[in-house]
């Protein structure tokens, strides 16, 4: 019990760092860059963004690693469908982690001038993945809290499967699609809240 608590505490702490930086990028820095003077933006790209991205990606890494430990502890005594809420949240979290390390960070290295490449194209790709992570952050948190504090009786395989397919479809959009209604800050916040409610409804009522 003590070891599980330590990992749960660490998971939440690292998650705060990760998602805090995610929200900073999407709600603050990106909007500032749209209005900043060229010199101020260049200075921020050189000195601020790399520091923020360091905390961002390593917060994601340690949230993921502590989450794997907790998933093992939770799943050891139950079937896969025994706790569907946590599995929905876990899938969202795992895809978000992969987006950070396989899309956002590699593309941002080009944007920051650390690697050669098409800067504007990489910025757009990183932006789409970052917006998708913001979208999935609501369901991820729903899964984290729901695993301990929310009981949904008799979740059907159909409802559970529908949730998984929706999350995977949104990830496919992150790889091949466009930001759509997630383009604005207000839009991505509203989409994340609506997605959380939709997944909850599918688990509870389908």
Whether residue 159 contacts residue 105, with contact meaning beta carbons closer than 8 Å, is answered with: no
Which pLDDT does position 34 carry in this prediction? 93
Tell me the C-alpha to C-alpha distance, in Å, between residue 43 and each of 22, 37, 46, 108. Answer: 20, 10, 5, 16
Q: Please give the average per-residue pLDDT across 123-141, as a whole number.
A: 97
pLDDT digits (tens, 9 = 90+) for 4-13: 899 999 999 9
Could you tell me the CA-to-CA distances from 182 to 72, 76, 159, 173, 195 in Å, in that order? Answer: 33, 37, 25, 12, 12
pLDDT exceeding 90 applies to what percent of the chain? 81
CA nearest to 198, candidates 129, 133, 135, 153: 135
For 155-196, write each residue's pLDDT tens digit: 888 999 999 999 999 999 999 999 999 999 999 999 999 999
Residue labelled with tokens 């899309």: 103
Q: Is the pLDDT of residue 151 over 70?
A: yes
Q: For the CA atoms of the chain, what is the radius of gyration?
A: 18
Say whether pLDDT at 75 is over 70. Answer: no
d(CA 27, CA 186): 9
Name every residue whose Cβ is closer than 8 Å to that of residue 48 and which is 6 or more positions away in sequence: 29
- Three-state DSSP at 155 gives coil
pLDDT at 83: 76
The tens digit of pLDDT for each residue in 156-166 reads 889 999 999 99
Average pLDDT, the chain: 92
Q: Could you tell me the residue ranges of all domains in the chain?
A: 2-205
- The SS3 call for residue 154 is coil
Q: What is the pTM of this model?
A: 0.93
């Amino acid at each position: 019990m003590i070891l599980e608590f330590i990992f749960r505490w660490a998971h939440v702490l690292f998650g705060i760092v990760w998602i805090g930086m995610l929200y900073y990028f999407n709600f603050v820095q990106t909007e500032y860059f749209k209005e900043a003077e060229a010199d101020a933006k260049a200075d921020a790209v050189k000195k601020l963004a790399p520091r923020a991205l360091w905390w961002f990606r390593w917060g994601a890494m340690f949230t993921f690693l502590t989450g794997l430990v907790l998933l093992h502890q939770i799943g050891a005594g139950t079937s896969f469908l025994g706790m569907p809420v946590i599995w929905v949240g876990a899938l969202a979290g795992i895809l978000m982690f992969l987006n950070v390390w396989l899309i956002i960070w590699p593309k941002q290295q080009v944007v920051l001038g650390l690697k050669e490449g098409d800067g504007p194209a990489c910025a757009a790709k990183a932006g789409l993945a970052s917006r998708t992570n913001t979208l999935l952050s609501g369901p991820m948190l729903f899964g984290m809290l729901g695993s301990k504090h929310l009981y949904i009786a008799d979740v059907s395989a159909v409802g559970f499967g529908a949730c998984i397919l929706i999350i995977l479809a949104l990830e496919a959009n992150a790889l091949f699609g466009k930001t759509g209604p997630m383009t604005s800050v207000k839009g991505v916040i509203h989409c994340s809240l609506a997605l959380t409610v939709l997944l909850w409804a599918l688990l509870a009522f389908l």
